[in-house]
Structure 1
Amino acid sequence: MAAREGGYVAPPPPETAPAVKKKAAQSSRSWIVVDPSGQGTVLDADKYAIMRRVQIHARDLRILDPLLSYPSTILGRERAIVLNLEHIKAIITSEEVLLRDPLDENVIPVVEELQRRLPPVNAVCQCQGDGKEYQGGQNDVEVGDEDESPFEFRALEVALEAICSFLAARTTELETAAYPALDELTSKISSRNLDRVRKLKSAMTRLNARVQKVRDELEQLLDDDDDMADLYLSRKLAGASSPVSGSGAANLFLASPTVGSKISRASRASLATVRGDENDVEELEMLLEAYFMQIDGTLNKLTTLREYIDDTEDYINIQLDNHRNQLIQLELFLSSGTVSLSIYSLVGAIFGMNIPYTWNDNHEYMFKWVVIIAGLVSALLFVMIMSYARHKGLVGS
């Protein structure tokens, strides 16, 4: 056990894992540090110790605060990459990765993947020192690729793969629930189905915004070579050791963000003079493009789902309009019948009044014909009204 820059570093004992989990859940200062060998160490330190450890500013560390709401961001600093992607809140340096809230259920797989992807360098060197020969084949290629790729890129790749897989899984779950619900709504319009689709549409809108932000961040990085060059921590670290870099660069970096940015440019310029690869960001560009295509595919799935929801809404509106038209037709039918019957009732009421008139005597047959003619006129009036409504398109044929 050792104290390191104000933070107490100690691996969690297996027998006290529940206690450590409870403590980490209550504290917002819990981090896990993963080194290039894949070893993880729990770090409980305040923000000032973290700032001194990775040499970033408070505004950058504030982005990783779980109590504050910041959009997805990938920032390249002089000696670190600040990564805020949904639940993945990490600081990547050229020597280690610091992940916040290591006992979160969504962060644990990221830690395990980091420990699996980062090869045990010490063990490899020890095997080579002992004179043991490796079997030829795919393992040699994988180890060689891992050795060629900088540490910060391997850690960044794990984080991007984790967030892309996480969002893709959420999208798949949403599709699994949404498509059957939409199909059920088209077959039966009910309050229950409408409320179910409303909740799914709200969830889709929120998820679409999250995926869109990650995609925009990757696109912004791909569009700016300088921003991608800022993520080459190993290159800048090598440039910092050149004569151009002053001995007081670290102190000036902590003093002012502007000065730190100037130091970063000067470091890259000095390294470009020595190696001539200042603008060579092809490796990182290929890495970002791969996950940009993946997150863009996820966004396309959400766009397709949204279009399907919009088409379902249009279909439901058409059905509702059809039912509304049917009700209007029924109302017109009943109103026409009422008008025709009212005329017939009026004639019958006039001639059915019990009032003594002299012209009523010996003319009972005339009353019958009047009632019959009134009925025929009413029926004819009803037919004429319905024909006119059908001619104007108010009633379906």
Structure 2
Amino acid sequence: MVHVVPADLQAVVAVKKKAQPSRSWVLLDSTGETTVLDVDKYAIMHRVNIHARDLRILDPLLSYPSTILGRDGAIVLNLEHIKAIITSEEVLLRDPSDENVVPVVQELRRRLPPANVIRQGQDYTNGQNDVEGDEDESPFEFRALEVALESICSFLAARTLELETAAYPALDELTSQISSRNLDRVRKLKSAMTRLTARVQKVRDELEQLLDDDDDMADLYLSRKLAGTSPVSGSGAANWYPASPTIGSKISRASRASIATVRGDENDVEELEMLLEAYFMQIDGTLNKLTTLREYIDDTEDYINIQLDNHRNQLIQLELFLSSGTVCLSIYSLVTAIFGMNIPYTWNDNHGYMFKWVVIVSGIFSAILFVLIMSYARVKSLVGS
């Protein structure tokens, strides 16, 4: 028997497959080599030795705030579109085909040293200058973290600049001409600004939380942890280099800078603190720009409300003018109607001139009443202002 799958069912299956998160990861090691991996989460957990709850933070289908977590052998990084796992010798980035992730991969490859440079560095046995240079170089995880922070700060700053470029002219145009088109345009820009402000605020809060806790910053020293678990001899640093070239380069270039710290103060987080403070100031500057834009929008709204109140007051004055004129004309019409009725009165005989005087007096009275009403309204408006 042949089963025919309906077309709509095929569409549903295609949508479900499309909704599933991508399993693609790009791996960059300490030599700058790039490898694309198509593996499930269990393979990633086994490779970097993290828990499922930490990997769940990087799931694009789940909404998690910006997070930088330090684990035993990895840093779990979730900053906007950058979802990465950083170890002491490699970086795993999710969704390498994403247009926002591609520049991060290129920058990581540019920042990481080529393989031949590392091999040349390992061949020096008496190179005093090489040892000093390695000691001055930041660990691998800090360089990778710096690239991620720099990328996300630049990305948010670029989005802020685009918003400013579109918002300020729109606000100026709205102040000069209040129309439905301009109001709808500013409404959309304000909504975009609110969403962008929330994104920038999350990144800033995460960096601030890290800076406020030295223990959390100490957890990000992966090379220090690796150096602390490696066998250290009292004669020197010769036993710090295993036979494996990969691990040897890892310790010689990334961990050697932390040996002095391990031997001295293990709670020294000055290097990472300086790194985080630099990008905290940058993201804080972006947030200040958004705050300034919000204040400008609020000032524009206040100015528009003042204009609308002014137009409303002018309409109220016009309505008062018309109402006062209508009342005065009604009084004049009432008097003339009473004396103009075609009813025989005995007292009206030979007294026709009285009708003329009554009409004249009622007209003068109506005019004086209109002037008094308008003067009273003007005085009240001046006292109220």
Secondary structure of 2:190's aligned partner: helix
- Aligned position for 1:198: 187
Equivalents in 2 of 1:239, 1:347: separation in Å?
Answer: 109
Deviates further, 106-115 or 357-366 = 357-366
TM-score (norm 1): 0.80
Secondary structure of 1:105's aligned partner: coil
Unaligned 5+ residue runs, structure 1? 1-22, 134-139, 244-270
Asked if 1:364 corresponds to 2:355, the answer is no
Secondary structure of 2:381's aligned partner: coil
Residue 174 (structure 1) aligned to one of 163, 178, 184 = 163
- Aligned position for 2:147: 158
Asked whether the 8 Å contact 1:85–1:214 carries over to 2, the reply is yes
Residue 321 (structure 1) aligned to one of 309, 324, 333 = 309
- Aligned position for 2:68: 74
Residue 222 (structure 1) aligned to one of 211, 220, 231 = 211
Unaligned 5+ residue runs, structure 2? 1-16, 233-258
Equivalents in 1 of 2:344, 2:159: separation in Å?
Answer: 88
Asked if 1:33 corresponds to 2:27, the answer is yes
- Aligned position for 1:88: 82
Secondary structure of 2:83's aligned partner: strand
- Aligned position for 1:113: 107
Per-residue CA shift, 1:255-308, capped at 9, x if unaligned? xxxxxxxxxxxxxxxx89961221111110010000000000000000000000
- Aligned position for 1:377: 365
Asked if 1:387 corresponds to 2:375, the answer is yes
Asked if 1:241 corresponds to 2:230, the answer is yes
Equivalents in 2 of 1:274, 1:172: separation in Å?
Answer: 43
Residue 210 (structure 1) aligned to one of 199, 212, 216 = 199
Secondary structure of 1:208's aligned partner: helix
For these two proteins, the number of residue pairs brought into alignment is 340
Q: Select the structure with the greater relative contact order (CA < 8 A; seq sep ≥ 6).
A: 2
Secondary structure of 1:31's aligned partner: strand
Q: CA deviation at 1:238?
A: 1.2
Equivalents in 1 of 2:220, 2:348: separation in Å?
Answer: 111
- What's the C-alpha RMSD, in Å, of the aligned pairs? 2.7
- Aligned position for 1:263: none
Q: Which amino acid aligns with 2:77?
A: L
Secondary structure of 2:316's aligned partner: helix
Per-residue CA shift, 1:28-74, capped at 9, x if unaligned? 11000001111110011111110010010000000000111100000
Q: CA deviation at 1:331?
A: 1.0
Equivalents in 1 of 2:65, 2:156: separation in Å?
Answer: 15
Secondary structure of 1:82's aligned partner: strand
Equivalents in 1 of 2:123, 2:134: separation in Å?
Answer: 20
Q: Which amino acid aligns with 2:335?
A: V
Residue 340 (structure 1) aligned to one of 318, 328, 332 = 328
Q: CA deviation at 1:203?
A: 0.5
Equivalents in 1 of 2:318, 2:216: separation in Å?
Answer: 68
Identity of aligned residues (%): 86
Secondary structure of 2:30's aligned partner: coil
Equivalents in 1 of 2:94, 2:306: separation in Å?
Answer: 51
Equivalents in 2 of 1:30, 1:203: separation in Å?
Answer: 30
Q: Which amino acid aligns with 1:340?
A: C
Per-residue CA shift, 1:178-204, capped at 9, x if unaligned? 000101111111111111111111110
Q: CA deviation at 1:364?
A: 2.0
Secondary structure of 1:97's aligned partner: strand
Equivalents in 2 of 1:351, 1:358: separation in Å?
Answer: 13
Distance verdict in 2 for CA 1:274–1:75, change over 3 Å: closer
Distance verdict in 2 for CA 1:382–1:395, change over 3 Å: farther
Runs of 4+ in 1 over 4 A off after TM superposition: 23-27, 127-130, 271-274, 394-397
